[in-house]
Structure 1
């Protein structure tokens, strides 16, 4: 993977696209290796046939898309989230690594907890949380997962919400409508465990590029 990243970078330089930064090449090589590993561990997953666009929230609500990444072979993972307004403007985002996580539902829950904490610190009192994990949405709206390995996390999150927010709604969304959060979780896999990232205005260029790509032709609420 490293050789491929260097080869690609050299070809772009020869094509007069400029020399890339060393950090960028290393990050790309790391993400390529992670992608290959995650693809190998998802051999039982079938690709979705439909593509759903991201939908903005109501004007007085902020939409928070979250996602967790999980590597079964290492019992490790990562999290990512992004917060957008009804105009589609990204105002907050985060990403980080999980060195030890029990399963994919726990990884999704850590993404939720990090997002809730960041939103609370920013004074965001009315939010809508979207996840492409239906079990997470069910766990946060009911008590049927309270005895699972992540049960204590669900209970703590519900208590945190009751103390710090005016309204929080959980919704399931299709994977294609959650691409920004997915990419941020994937980015988290390349981070050191003690280097969590939380970005507010202005957001890094690579995050704004993700938003632009994800929202081209996004569906507006009717």
Structure 2
């Protein structure tokens, strides 16, 4: 039920722009933790005024869930839809 998240943002030249991390509680699944971590990374990049991003994840399940909408009707579907919505609202390209 507990976990942590972390992200590192790099420039197109590989230089670290920022890094952040935090704790997660009341988790129902690993996929929920991955989706929540993704939202935290999106929010951090948006707050810094970054407009073009490429997100990477070591969770193939999260990547597939975001690309296909396969999990949109699952218990974490709202988180997945939020990821897509925030990206559309916050970035010129993602």
Q: TM-score, normalised by structure 2?
A: 0.94
* 1:180 corresponds to: none
Q: 1:106 aligns with which of 4, 22, 32?
A: 32
Please give the alpha-carbon distance, in whole angstroms, between the structure 1 residues aligned to 2:60 and 2:72.
15
Contact 1:102/1:149, CA 8 A, preserved across alignment: no
How far, CA to CA, are the matches of 2:41 and 2:60 in structure 1? 17
1:132 aligned partner: 58
> Could you list the runs of 5+ residues in structure 2 that have no partner in the other structure?
none
Residue in structure 2 matching 1:160, options 79, 82, 86: 86
Superimposed CA distance per residue, residues 104-159 of structure 1 (whole angstroms, 9 cap, x where no aligned partner): 11111111000000101111111000001111111111210112221100011111
Offset from partner CA, 1:8-54 (integer Å, 9 cap, x none): xxxxxxxxxxxxxxxxxxxxxxxxxxxxxxxxxxxxxxxxxxxxxxx
Is 1:84 the counterpart of 2:37? The answer is no
Q: How many residues align?
A: 94
Query: C-alpha distance in 1, partners of 2:10/2:90?
Result: 19
Q: Is the 8 A contact 1:146 1:155 kept in 2?
A: yes
Matches within 5 A, 1:17-32: none
CA RMSD of aligned residues (A): 0.9
Q: TM-score, normalising length from structure 1?
A: 0.41
Gaps of 5+ in 1: 1-74, 169-222
Q: Secondary structure at the match of 1:148?
A: coil
1:141 aligns with 2:64: no
The structure with more radius of gyration? 1
Structure 2 counterpart of 1:67: none
- After superposition, residues 164-183 of structure 1 pair within 5 angstroms as 164-168=90-94
Counterparts of 1:140 and 1:167, CA distance in 2: 16
Runs of 4+ in 1 over 3 A off after TM superposition: none
2-side partners of 1:80 and 1:121: how far apart? 16
